Amino acid sequence: MLKEMEDILSHDYHKKWMVAIPFIIVGIATGYFVPEKIGSLFYAKYDRSGLDTIMTAWFPDNIENVITDEILITSYEYNFEQPRFYSKYFSEQDPGVYNITVGDATGASSSAPTYFDPKILEIPFGHNETLIDGGLICNNPSLYAFIIAKRLRGHKNIRILSLGTGESEFTEVTEQTNKWDII
């Protein structure tokens, strides 16, 4: 009887390992590749130190000292969940928050998640602001600039210079022969 039990257990033991080994291999592979891919979503692709150096060197003036009547650079304060519209108007209203250098404002506005880490600014109220890309809350800042100039400043003749990242060439669709042609 004891011999029969030993044979059964030793036979089942090999079956268990034949099933367990593929799971162990899949587990090791999953444990290595999945965290690496998920981790890449949480870290910036590029180092922001070069960007900050260029922005600080090229745009050292504060928002209030810009030559034009009005300027608008958008960003989003992540921790307080508030938009940041860096403009002369808001710089006059709340200089502690909005009167920063143009380089800091553009650096904050270009902090697109997964490309650059958030821009961290120390403001006079004794805390840091974590600023990310303004396009998350304001995809068309020229509309906000127009509203600020017209409603808050009372300007009548408004000219807008909107700098973007470019556009793709327009291709006119003349005849749709296949439902996938539109894509």
Q: Is the dihedral of CA 105, 106, 107, 110 positive or negative?
A: positive
Task: Let me know whether 124 and 76 are in one domain.
Answer: yes
Is 71 in contact with 88 (CB distance < 8 Å)? Answer: yes
Q: Give helix then strand counts, H and E, for the chain.
A: 6, 4
Gap between the Cα atoms of 67 and 61, Å rounded: 10
Task: Let me know whether 140 and 69 are in one domain.
Answer: yes
Q: Is residue 146 part of a domain?
A: yes
Segments forming the whole domain that contains residue 21: 9-43
Task: Let me know whether 56 and 128 are in one domain.
Answer: yes
Task: Let me know whether 75 and 148 are in one domain.
Answer: yes
Token digits of residue 145: 């600039």
Task: Let me know whether 60 and 101 are in one domain.
Answer: yes
Task: Let me know whether 18 and 67 are in one domain.
Answer: no
Give me the tens of pLDDT residue by residue for the chain, a chain 183 residues long.
667 666 665 665 566 666 677 778 877 877 777 777 776 667 778 888 888 898 889 999 998 888 877 788 899 999 888 999 998 888 888 888 888 999 999 899 888 888 888 899 888 777 889 999 988 888 888 888 888 888 888 888 888 877 766 677 777 766 665 655 555
Per-residue pLDDT at 45: 82
How many structural domains comprise the chain?
2
H or E element, residue 105: helix 102-109
Neighbours of 6 (CB within 10 A): 10
Q: 0.95 exceeded by the pTM?
A: no
Task: Let me know whether 31 and 117 are in one domain.
Answer: no
Task: Let me know whether 71 and 117 are in one domain.
Answer: yes
